[in-house]
Amino acid sequence: MAVGMSGGVDSAVAAWLLREQGEVLCVTMLLADECGGARSCCSGDAVERARSTAAALGLPWHELDLRDEFRDAVVDPFVARYEAGQTPNPCVACNRFRLRRLLEWAGTHGAAAIATGHYARLRRRRGDLVVLQRAADNGKDQSYMLWQVEQDVLAAMSLPLGGLTKKEVRRLARTAALPVADEPESQEVCFAPYGYRSALADRGVKPRTGDIVAADGDVLGRHDGQWRYTIGQRRGLGIAADEPLYVLERRVSSNQVVVGPRSALQTLTVTVGEVDDRGLNKAPELSVQLRYRSAPVPVAKLAFTGGDGVVATLAEPFEAAAPGQSAVFYDNDVVVGGGTITGQGTCDSLRRVLSPREPHATHTGGDSWMGT
């Protein structure tokens, strides 16, 4: 068993639990040169914590340098999509990339399976089909972040923390006297320790001044780069108005940032592309999660649009659905599909022409920021 070890308490406890079941190899993946933040998952401090934890457990430790591959597979596509007006979640793409590479590494070192400290569960369906299920600790659930992991990787995975709460994991770490038992949570994305604006600028995304406009086209102010704004943003607009204004949309073609009242952020329909269907039609209790830390929203109707697209009509409004973000579909607590948000329809326009349970035919662009 090859265990991905990040230097935090979760992967350390996963390795400790699996040690009792057989031979364990600890592997720390180097992903980005910019891992300078103390709370990043692959900073120098984190790598040293992983090495020392493996030593404390009496387990062999390996370092896997994936920096060039990670840049090509995760960082460069993130930058390109952000410039194109989307708000991709790099952690979703990172999990798919690094777990694939961990499995490949394991195969060349005599290990048939891999494990991580993610909070999610795996369930077998219809023979050898393996699906993701939410963790027992809903507050820590990471199934949303794992939805892009391919079936063959899931089939070779173990997630020993899926049935535990974070409190229980901390307690186990102290029982085992692990040196990272009280280590704080990793909060920084490895290639952006100083924030995404800085990371994008460092990778050549140039300032480009343009207009901040109302939905009707009235010019309200100026900006120095549409990529510096996020859907739902209220502060830092530099606009005096009678009511609070929020970023509603980034229009790349016209280099405009569209703002409006908070009510305009709400949507009842979401268009989703690049869909991986793992049983959407067979889900009796279909819901969709549209941001990492958001609650799932019941789906009133799902329409397949041809190719790999769907339109989800929501049973209740959602605020600031973001093109580029992941839409992950659940049947109760099991992942049955996922895709990338491509657009949304506003509640106001929907209510003018349709009843709440009917599908919406017109969708406008937009994106929002979500923390990871």
For 76, the 3-state DSSP assignment is: helix
Question: Could you tell me the residue ranges of all domains in the chain?
Answer: 2-175, 207-260, 264-353
Nearest to 179, CA basis, from 36, 57, 61: 57
Residues 179 and 111: their CA atoms lie apart, in Å, by: 26
> CA triplet 204, 208, 212: central angle to 5 degrees?
135
Q: Find the helix or strand (DSSP H, E) in which 122 lies.
A: strand 121-125
What tens digit of pLDDT does each residue of 33-46 get? 765 555 555 567 88
**Residues in Cβ contact with 37 at an 8 Å cutoff, skipping those fewer than 6 apart:** 43, 188, 193, 194
Q: With cut-offs at 50, 70 and 90, classify the pLDDT of residue 355.
A: very low
Question: Which of 111, 112, 116, 87 is closest to 28 using CA atoms?
Answer: 116
Sheet of 25-30, strand order: 61-65, 25-30, 2-4, 114-115, 157-158
Least confident of 159-168, 278-287, 343-352, 357-366: 357-366
Hey, CA dihedral for 38, 40, 41, 44, is it positive or negative? negative
9-19 and 44-57 helices cross at what angle (nearest 10)? 20
| Chain segment 179-210, per-residue pLDDT in tens | 999 988 876 677 887 788 888 998 989 999 99
Distance of alpha carbon 333 from the chain centroid:
17
Q: Is the pLDDT of residue 26 over 50?
A: yes
Alpha-carbon separation of residue 202 from 32, 155, 227 (angstroms): 13, 38, 13
Out of 2.40.240.10, 3.40.50.620, 1.25.40.10, 3.40.50.300, which CATH number does the structure's domain 2-175 have?
Answer: 3.40.50.620
d(CA 19, CA 139): 27
**Which amino acid is residue 363, in one-letter code?**
H
What percent of the chain shows pLDDT beyond 70?
89
Q: Please say whether the beta carbons of 111 and 74 come within 8 A.
A: no
- Contact at 8 Å (CB) between 119 and 87? no
pLDDT at position 41: 58
Across the range 340-368, mean pLDDT stands at: 46
CB 285 within 8 A of CB 247: no
- Regarding pTM above 0.85, the answer is yes
Task: Report how far residue 58's alpha carbon sits from residue 232's, in angstroms, rounded to the nearest whole number.
Answer: 48
Per the prediction, the chain carries an average pLDDT of 88
C-alpha torsion 98→132→124→117, nearest 10: 50
* pLDDT tens by residue, 154-178: 999 999 999 999 999 999 999 999 9
Which helix (DSSP H) or strand (DSSP E) does residue 104 occupy?
helix 90-108
Question: Which helix H or strand E contains 69, and what residues bound it?
Answer: helix 67-70
Instruction: List, by residue number, the catalytic residues.
Output: 94, 190
CATH topology of domain 207-260: SH3 type barrels. (2.30.30)
Strands (E), 261-308: 266-277, 286-289, 297-306
For residue 247, the 8-state DSSP code is: E
Residue bearing the bigger pLDDT, 347 or 333: 333
pLDDT tens per residue, range 275-314: 999 999 889 999 999 999 999 999 999 999 988 999 999 9
CATH code that applies to domain 264-353: 2.40.30.10
